[in-house]
Amino acid sequence: MKIKVIVPLLTSKYNSAVQEELLPYIAPDVSITVVNLASGSSSIESRYDEIYSTPEIVNKIVESEEEGYDGVFVSCVSDPGISVAREIVDIPIVGGFEPAALSAGIISKRWGIITISQSCARLIRDLATLAGIHQQLACICSIDQPINELHKMPGQLEDVLLTKVKKMIGEEQVTAIVLGCTGMMGMAKYLSNEMKAVGIPIQVIDPTAVALGYLQMMIRAGLTHSRLEYPKLTLTKIND
Amino acid sequence: MKIKVIVPLLTSKYNSAVQEELLPYIAPDVSITVVNLASGSSSIESRYDEIYSTPEIVNKIVESEEEGYDGVFVSCVSDPGISVAREIVDIPIVGGFEPAALSAGIISKRWGIITISQSCARLIRDLATLAGIHQQLACICSIDQPINELHKMPGQLEDVLLTKVKKMIGEEQVTAIVLGCTGMMGMAKYLSNEMKAVGIPIQVIDPTAVALGYLQMMIRAGLTHSRLEYPKLTLTKIND
Amino acid sequence: MKIKVIVPLLTSKYNSAVQEELLPYIAPDVSITVVNLASGSSSIESRYDEIYSTPEIVNKIVESEEEGYDGVFVSCVSDPGISVAREIVDIPIVGGFEPAALSAGIISKRWGIITISQSCARLIRDLATLAGIHQQLACICSIDQPINELHKMPGQLEDVLLTKVKKMIGEEQVTAIVLGCTGMMGMAKYLSNEMKAVGIPIQVIDPTAVALGYLQMMIRAGLTHSRLEYPKLTLTKIND
Amino acid sequence: MKIKVIVPLLTSKYNSAVQEELLPYIAPDVSITVVNLASGSSSIESRYDEIYSTPEIVNKIVESEEEGYDGVFVSCVSDPGISVAREIVDIPIVGGFEPAALSAGIISKRWGIITISQSCARLIRDLATLAGIHQQLACICSIDQPINELHKMPGQLEDVLLTKVKKMIGEEQVTAIVLGCTGMMGMAKYLSNEMKAVGIPIQVIDPTAVALGYLQMMIRAGLTHSRLEYPKLTLTKIND
Amino acid sequence: MKIKVIVPLLTSKYNSAVQEELLPYIAPDVSITVVNLASGSSSIESRYDEIYSTPEIVNKIVESEEEGYDGVFVSCVSDPGISVAREIVDIPIVGGFEPAALSAGIISKRWGIITISQSCARLIRDLATLAGIHQQLACICSIDQPINELHKMPGQLEDVLLTKVKKMIGEEQVTAIVLGCTGMMGMAKYLSNEMKAVGIPIQVIDPTAVALGYLQMMIRAGLTHSRLEYPKLTLTKIND
Amino acid sequence: MKIKVIVPLLTSKYNSAVQEELLPYIAPDVSITVVNLASGSSSIESRYDEIYSTPEIVNKIVESEEEGYDGVFVSCVSDPGISVAREIVDIPIVGGFEPAALSAGIISKRWGIITISQSCARLIRDLATLAGIHQQLACICSIDQPINELHKMPGQLEDVLLTKVKKMIGEEQVTAIVLGCTGMMGMAKYLSNEMKAVGIPIQVIDPTAVALGYLQMMIRAGLTHSRLEYPKLTLTKIND
């Protein structure tokens, strides 16, 4: 089974770290290839970014299908390009939001999301509304940090997230938390360990782990997006 | 990775067929063991059946954790014993309903369920209400056949289901269908192939395939039900 | 009119107190008989307890119908065994949750529930979800006290509840409160009097009073659960 | 216990029939007095009618409290004057809609209402929206007959209602039906008997029977509308 | 284009101020006439007031249609008489609530309403429920001031509202605010300017400005309330 | 007042017809300028089209603000580019969907949309979900005609739409209809006249008429999208 992972940045400098982070989440018969974008926004943190990166993301997805990949994971919690690409390709495609949001309901009936900025919180709120999960989603919180600064603040990021997690449990009574950014590498384990140490055994969901598991499940089950749901784009239109 | 599959019947006669059916859905590093119940209802088709089989299902789940299994799949779409067992064990447990229902939202925004009887339809409706997915679930239909008769009507079962699927697409505009009984082996592939042949490329979701994929994802991601959501039962109560 | 009241404890020691408490809520032509369980959990405070007491509760309900009772009240706010028994008997049966939750909407458009533990709060939340009353239910709070300790803390229980009630009015703007445990005898009157004395005329709903009134209404109106809603269990299955 | 029943018509000619119809629904210690309106619309079948009858209905309710009645039932499914009067009097008041609609949820999880005209259907739909019961209310149907003609068409009314009931069960899968007009005397029993005779055991809910039972329950339980929900009108305003 | 503005007070003393306030919101080809009530409540701050002023409001609306007006605005956020009058007249009629509440969704996805009393908050909550906008309406707050006192507290009113607005932004995360009383003249501009000055650029929606714009839009587009939605009252009933 | 109208086609050949169609909907002090796109999809009928036309639509909106326009209407019911542009410009911007969908609630409590294809129906369904209006939106129907063919089938288009409208009234009980494509010029008037002639006085809402009225209202009221809702894009990101 071959999976393409699209990290929607204009740089490849995090790819080996990403590749390593993904390994525990794939089965022995699965290979992954990590790629980036040649054009678009430097990161996806607003509706503007999303629109400007989507054409290149769609190109990469179409290319993956042509190359024989069995599925694609776009490593971003705003699910950029996912619904557009489903009008064109037949292989299963997931972003970071849908699998994490839909899986959270098995683990918890009242959960929250932590993301990096108010802009991202708006994108995620709209995705949550479209997914129809408002019965369970208690809150979407922001740590107000640009994505490209996350790797520069390792110790600080831990602190900022931990403070927010405690606040969400105390004030919003969440019983699980979804990380609202695929750039928060290693944080799910850190946060759940820290909280367990203080006697509050909360589950923290890493969207990357869940999305990869979801994609493998879809591929093994032979499932993909419904063509009745995402009508196929006519070729004339594509070449228009 | 070791997964226990509990088929909540009082007989082991379908176990080898079940075992064979499950193989495509597990990764090379996963082993599965199929077991049955020593007591309870002969099958689960009503609230009464569910109540009378749950204690034995919970015993089997507790036993699985003690034996070192990494997760348990209870092969029944009414998710019997799942929420009770989550009060006791720490390993991830899934039934047939939750994973299929939550996954359907990635494939389709308007889908339906086919089940075997009005009683089962009521159980499933309540699970759907608890899962909060009413925005997407268009209908729950019944073919009105007892579970223990399904294997006696191979050719007929195909016909009955196909007729129902066509009706759900035509009248309810569903774009995907979830099979509402884990006993409908092989039917997901049959139905999607037949519909594709008549130019209607609908996705048919087999709850078994999805549940096993979900469980593998949870185990690889280190996730389980939140202990804040399912408060741990005190030992005195268990020995009460 | 003859009503059976099932107090789902393994002891009869509270029965005379319960009997006396119920008298103001029944009409002159109604007689009540209070019974307990011979097996099951010592009290119902978790999903585990609920499952282990349900078979005996169902037996008691079936027995009541055979004895000619006109209706049954299971005195517990988790409504244990209610939907199962409706598959079997024809006489009206109510627990403590449904009548109180559905009646609250006449008295208030924004109300809350106080219960004894996080486990009970989870059971009640699921019942509220199934009843579809989330538009009005503002919060479910817990005083974190085991049921079997309630009678040991008379003065304290009053204080603990009163503090919680004030918090629910102040922070959640509820205009009525439903007691989420049938073991909080006498508390509805105490709490509403205390609040009235401080100028906050809130209604406090005792689930027992409402359930008994509901049941009498159903019996006089000739109503019972719909057989189309709760399909009758076939006899072979019961004797299975 | 003394209950006032306000039949919001300008004539008293149906009062003795109403009185007789109500008797089975009250306990031996309850007395009822049936009164009518001195002014307002001849019947309540539109928003216009409702507005023009409400002042006199409110007068009658205030008068009832002054006379020492324990509760008031306004015999009309559009609940005219109920929420206004709750700003003024302290005794419990119910109309025909709220008790029937809230009780239906115990009997059925999918039910419908039959009313007499499109105008009434609009009034009832708004009441249903305010009561927050849309999860269970499958449909509101109309037989398109003016209220003052109902008594002129005894045989016909039965036929018209029976045809509609069969259609609601067949096409909307309702498992219970609420009569949406208090003028359909005797019809609940007739319809449930006829349906039972053809093997479809549906429950038909008479709003009068339920409202009277509800009111007796409220009086015995010492409950009334929350003063926090319905702020008390200041006297200066009333004498304004 | 001729628009009638009904200010539902028993005095004309604010009419010239109202007239002046409205001028910026109408196009050059629109003329407005401001009128008051000859009978009814002195102001509309409760369900009681609403009921007692509605007949006269309806008279004024019917009169406006007879006089050839193209549309009517009833200047009150409880939309008194609006749905009743729609059963009778054909010209478009709006109150203060519907246009503001429906327009807020273009400006914000999470907004709140400030009104003058708990009674008004109840009326508005019911209108919001009927309008089906609960997904976006975060809160309804009250400043607890009678309508007839608003003009006596110019400096104070500003302060009270500003404090409330800051609280709604801070605690409820609203991104826009709807003024819940048409008597808060000039406050929308004041509040948005003050908030902008402290770096929080919130939109404050004046219901009068929006209602007048809405009405002009309806008249230019040739739209009015659907006669299928508001069945026409028969003449015999009106002359009844 | 100056309004820019962006018709998102690559041709200007319909502009004079559009200009003429818009005139009745603007006040005497309003001037409109109609422009098209220099790049993007030839029309917007899928998610793919939407993504590929959005950058150019955003450019045109930014340009309009720089040129001193008071507001912009993007003449397309999929609201392309609207939420992205709100992150950048301060003037009010509307598409065809939001104003029509939010206005429909004043005219009708149960309405439907007719659009041109299944792809468009999907786009509109997602917008409806985001707008939170599902309580009132009964159905989204498609006539299955490409946008660029609409002008070639004048007589036919009328017939196809009329048949669909009758079906929506009969089967879905809608009381108003929103045209789901701004290319259906003149159809609102035609359809409402035809239906009135057969005694069914339904309102048909032209999204263009409503959007222009809405925009004029926003400009006169000094309203625009909330900056708290649509956080301002930082300049570095735009020049990124």
CA nearest D196 in C: which residue? C227
F43's tokens = 């029309």
Collect the ranges in chain A with pLDDT lower than 50: 235, 237-240
CA distance A148 to chain F (A): 12
Do the Cβ atoms of E213 and F220 come within 8 Å?
Answer: yes
D53: left (phi over 0), alpha (psi -120 to 50) or beta: alpha
- Residue the block writes with tokens 């707050």: E141
**Cβ–Cβ pairs < 8 A, chains A and E:** 3
Dist. CA C54–CA C39, nearest whole Å: 10
CB atoms within 10 A of CB B63: 15
Is the pLDDT assigned to residue E240 strictly greater than 60?
no
Lowest mean pLDDT, pick from B59-63, E1-5, F65-69, F183-187:
F183-187
Q: What is the mean pLDDT of residues B128-134?
A: 91
Say if D and A touch: at least 3 Cβ pairs within 8 Å. Answer: no
Do the Cβ atoms of A202 and B226 come within 8 Å?
Answer: yes
Go through chain E and tell me how many residues it has: 240
Say if E and F touch: at least 3 Cβ pairs within 8 Å. Answer: yes
Do the Cβ atoms of C217 and D217 come within 8 Å?
Answer: yes
CA nearest C94 in D: which residue? D106
Identify the contact set of chain F against chain B, taking CB-CB distances under 8 A. 125, 129, 134
**Chain F residues whose beta carbon lies within 8 Å of the beta carbon of residue A229:** 122
CA nearest B232 in C: which residue? C119
CA nearest C50 in B: which residue? B84
Tell me the sheet residues that pair with B174. Answer: none
CA distance A238 to chain C (A): 46
Q: Does D97-207 match D2-95+209-221 at the fold level?
A: yes
**Chain F residues whose beta carbon lies within 8 Å of the beta carbon of residue A127:** none
Identify the contact set of chain B against chain C, taking CB-CB distances under 8 A. 41-42, 45-52, 54-55, 58, 81, 83-84, 87-88, 117-119, 122, 126, 129-130, 132, 229-231, 233, 237-238, 240
**Cβ–Cβ pairs < 8 A, chains D and E:** 74
Using pLDDT thresholds of 50, 70 and 90, give the confidence band for residue B150.
confident
pLDDT score, position C147:
73
3-state helix, strand, coil in chain B (%, to 5): 50, 15, 40
Q: What is the mean pLDDT of residues C166-192?
A: 95
Q: Which of A116, A51, A107 is nearest to A77 (CA)?
A: A116
CA nearest D141 in F: which residue? F173
pLDDT score, position D201:
93
CA distance B124 to chain A (A): 16
Residue among F202, F216, F221 whose CB faces E226 most closely? F202
**Chain A residues whose beta carbon lies within 8 Å of the beta carbon of residue B189:** 222
Do the Cβ atoms of B55 and C52 come within 8 Å?
Answer: yes
DSSP for residue B171: H
CATH topology of domain F2-95+209-221: Rossmann fold (3.40.50)
Dist. CA B216–CA B220, nearest whole Å: 6
Is the pLDDT assigned to residue C152 strictly greater than 50?
yes
**Chain B residues whose beta carbon lies within 8 Å of the beta carbon of residue C81:** 51
**Chain C residues whose beta carbon lies within 8 Å of the beta carbon of residue B230:** 122
Q: Which chains touch B (3 or more CB pairs under 8 A)?
A: A, C, D, F
Cα angle value D197/D199/D203 (rounded, 5°): 80
**Chain A residues whose beta carbon lies within 8 Å of the beta carbon of residue E109:** 125
Q: What string of pLDDT tens digits covers the 240 residues of chain D?
A: 999 999 999 999 999 999 999 999 999 999 999 999 999 999 999 999 999 999 999 999 999 999 999 999 999 999 999 999 999 999 999 999 999 999 999 999 999 999 999 999 999 999 999 999 888 999 999 998 877 777 777 688 999 999 999 999 999 999 999 999 998 989 999 999 999 999 999 999 999 999 999 999 999 999 999 999 999 986 454 444
- Tell me how far CA of residue E113 lies from CA of E117, E174, E177, F193, in angstroms: 12, 10, 6, 39
Q: What is the mean pLDDT of residues C186-191?
A: 95
Q: Which of D66, D68, D11, D56 is nearest to D34 (CA)?
A: D11
Residue among C25, C176, C201 whose CB faces D220 most closely? C25
CA distance A119 to chain F (A): 6
Helix (H, G, I), strand (E, B), or coil: what is residue E134?
A: coil
Dist. CA E127–CA E174, nearest whole Å: 19
Say if F and C touch: at least 3 Cβ pairs within 8 Å. Answer: no
**Chain A residues whose beta carbon lies within 8 Å of the beta carbon of residue C134:** 135
Dist. CA D188–CA C222, nearest whole Å: 10
**Chain B residues whose beta carbon lies within 8 Å of the beta carbon of residue F125:** 109
**Cβ–Cβ pairs < 8 A, chains C and D:** 170
Q: Which of D119, D122, D123, D98 is nearest to D178 (CA)?
A: D98
Is the pLDDT assigned to residue C238 strictly greater than 50?
no
Q: How far is CA C167 from the centre of its chain?
A: 23
Using pLDDT thresholds of 50, 70 and 90, give the confidence band for residue B206.
very high
Dist. CA D141–CA B156, nearest whole Å: 38
CA nearest E54 in D: which residue? D51
**Chain F residues whose beta carbon lies within 8 Å of the beta carbon of residue D134:** 135
CB-based contact A68:A39 (threshold 8 Å) = no
Say which residue, E84 or B240, is predicted with more confidence.
E84
pLDDT score, position A237:
46
- Tell me how far CA of residue A9 lies from CA of A74, A179, C9, in angstroms: 11, 19, 62
CA distance C22 to chain B (A): 29
Q: Which of E162, E177, E17, E186 is nearest to E100 (CA)?
A: E177
Residue among B55, B118, B119 whose CB faces C51 most closely? B55
Q: Which chains touch C (3 or more CB pairs under 8 A)?
A: A, B, D, E
Do the Cβ atoms of F106 and E29 come within 8 Å?
Answer: no
CA nearest C118 in B: which residue? B231
Helix (H, G, I), strand (E, B), or coil: what is residue D52?
A: helix
- Tell me how far CA of residue D2 lies from CA of C221, D18, D97, in angstroms: 19, 16, 21
Q: Which of F78, F156, F171 is nearest to F117 (CA)?
A: F78
What are the strands of the beta sheet with C176-179, ordered from one edge?
Answer: C137-142, C111-115, C176-179, C203-205
Phi, psi of A27 (to 5 degrees): -75, 165
Phi, psi of A140 (to 5 degrees): -120, 115
Dist. CA D183–CA D13, nearest whole Å: 13
User: Parallel, antiparallel, or unpaired: how do β-strands C176-179 and C203-205 relate?
Assistant: parallel
**Sequence ranges of the domains in chain B:** 2-95+209-221, 97-207
CB atoms within 10 A of CB B189: 13
Collect the ranges in chain F with pLDDT lower than 70: 154, 234-240
Say if B and E touch: at least 3 Cβ pairs within 8 Å. Answer: no
Q: Quick: pLDDT tens for A7-28.
A: 999 999 999 999 999 999 999 9
pTM of the model: 0.95
Dist. CA F134–CA F129, nearest whole Å: 7
Q: Which chains touch D (3 or more CB pairs under 8 A)?
A: B, C, E, F
Interface mutation target, options B46, B82, B226, chain C, most CBs of C under 10 Å? B46
Percent of chain E with pLDDT over 90: 87
Q: What is the mean pLDDT of residues B203-214?
A: 97
CB atoms within 10 A of CB C54: 28
CA distance E126 to chain C (A): 10
CB-based contact E74:E216 (threshold 8 Å) = no
Q: Which chains touch F (3 or more CB pairs under 8 A)?
A: A, B, D, E
Is the pLDDT assigned to residue E234 strictly greater than 90?
no
Q: What is the 3 state secondary structure string of chain C? A: CEEEEECCCCCCCCHHHHHHHHHHHCCCCCEEEEECCCCCCCCCCCHHHHHHHHHHHHHHHHHHHHCCCCEEEECCCCCCCHHHHHCCCCCCEECCHHHHHHHHHHHCCCEEEEECCHHHHHHHHHHHHHHCCCCCEEEEEECCCCHHHHHHCHHHHHHHHHHHHHHHHHHHCCCEEEECCCCCCCHHHHHHHHHHHCCCCCEEECHHHHHHHHHHHHHHHCCCCCCCCCCCCCHHHHCC
**Chain C residues whose beta carbon lies within 8 Å of the beta carbon of residue A109:** 125
Dist. CA A96–CA B106, nearest whole Å: 12
Cβ-proximal residues to E201 (8 Å cutoff; 6+ apart), any chain: E192, E195, F226, F227, F228
What are the strands of the beta sheet with D31-35, ordered from one edge?
Answer: D31-35, D2-6, D71-74, D93-94
Say which residue, B25 or C237, is predicted with more confidence.
B25
CB-based contact A134:A128 (threshold 8 Å) = yes
| CATH code at F97-207 | 3.40.50.12500
Using pLDDT thresholds of 50, 70 and 90, give the confidence band for residue E146.
confident
